[in-house]
Structure 1
Amino acid sequence: MALRSMLFVPGDSERKLAKAPSAGADALILDLEDAVDAARLPAARAIVRDYLAARPASGPELWVRINPLDSGLALDDLAAVVRAGPDAILLPKGQGAQGIVTLDHYLTALEAREGLEPGAIGIMPVATETAGAMFNLGGYANCSPRLRGLTWGAEDLAAALGAAGNRREDGEYEFTYELARSLCLLGANAAGVPAIDTIWGNFRDETGLRRDSARARRAGFTGKIAIHPDQVAAINEAFTPDPADIARARRIVQAFEQAPGVGTLQLDGEMLDRPHLKQAMRILASVPAGN
């Protein structure tokens, strides 16, 4: 399933959790980290576990953002929610491939305890939230078959660096955060997994969100994280290929299928080679089911 939009939902808010599926996001991220006060965390774990257990047969994927592996809270988060079978875990403060390997081991043990299919739960790290993590983005390839993608974050990175802000006067990211975005994109492609763009913080600024989403898609990101239900429709639109692009991609794939072993061919007067085929296949992979 193509993940165009992933919506954060506070794990301790039963009201927001109940409303979240109607937003139309491809995945909901049930948050046990930043959105939940430490005093509310035990209650949030129980709420998230019950929400996962009561999921309908159809609907968005259900992910859980746990606390960082070095927080002393992550194992308790996992022990509470794995039994209800989330689709994937969003790992904050990702430090590199070793963290994915460690989380894989935890999930393997908990899946066995709960009688779940081995490897059923995926993992995606927020891979740029600390200075050290920035140097490890090329190392995620082959670290775990659970790896579902890479995403990045600018807010925690700014805090880690002691920066007063992460954007210039014109609203664009400072160089360090543009670098984080680019390295996330490159690291995801090196690992063969989707790159998911970070949040647009001002949920009332739809114009800015649409501009930022279009830019991310042009760069090669396949989806974006939302912090408010009102952002989901614009994100879905930005990351859904238009019908003309879909039709052309299908014709390109069909043309290569009808000419096995050929490296280049002509279509509508244009010479096409393997990179065109690869791009066409990526477009088709991003088409929502039923389109």
Structure 2
Amino acid sequence: MRAMSQTPPLVFDRALSRRRLARAAHLGPETFLLDRVAEDLADRLGSVKRRFSTALDLGTPTDGLARALDGHPAVERLFAAAPLAAGLGIRRDAVVADEEALPFAPQSLDLVVSALALQGVNDLPGVFAQVRRALKPDGLFLAGFVGGSSLTELRQAFAIAESETTGGVSPRVAPFADVRDLGGLLQRAGFALPVADTDRIVVRYGSPFTLFSELRRMGAANALTERRRVPLRRDTLLKAAEIYGARFADPDGRLRVTFDIVWLSGWAPHESQQKPLAPGSAKMSLAAALGAKRAGEPPADGAA
């Protein structure tokens, strides 16, 4: 059991997040970003020359990832776990489960994939540890979710607008994980060969109000526990739209929106995997490997 001092902060209101997703499903979800991430995940999985017999789609809020992996040569059987039944589509192989409380036996899965789900969990290290525990030796975890500097333009516009109209600032855009920290979190969770990288996607809109509407239909409206519990003032909203247009418009008047997709992969350890050399076992000095000369030696032929 995790010690009380290690309890993660409750950044997100998870119950509210589920209601936001349910509303998005009712309105008709906006899926362009998720579909892009699902296609990219399928491409990344295609570079792995393996076939995984039991694969889990963890938390993906629509069936977009299931469709992208349908018939994929690396996946034999895919089932889903998500916090809302609406997000599971009509697939039979599915279970309603919270990403922070996975109901899977140790070493029961060969592959865990996830698209645009993990940016809203409170205990990301805990999720990684549970995924690691559920994977069989040499099982793979591959996920893409929103991180980095995503929605930086919106964050800045609202901060300035709220400061000017109310004299203070409240959290409007979620904090996102930095890719520089995530590789270390995978290692701490026990993954071998961890890799973390970022894919920046810049989308352009004709109006900030179109962006606001699409974020609502992604289920991505504000679900922070420290959010201000009163309706957004009209003058603040209009000021934010004005600032967004003034600061983040291209010459043709269309507005830039940044989405950083953080990609993570890691393997459950197995004796067949490549391992780093033990300290002191190298057969060549670093200086020799880099072609450096010792003090007092003339440069090698062709060297400057």
Instruction: Give yes or no for TM over 0.5.
Output: no
TM bucket (normalised to shorter chain) is: 0.3 to 0.5
When the two structures are superposed, what TM-score results if normalisation uses the length of structure 1?
A: 0.34
Structure with the bigger percentage of helix: 1
Q: Quick check: which has more Rg, 1 or 2?
A: 2
Tell me the TM-score normalised to structure 2 length: 0.33
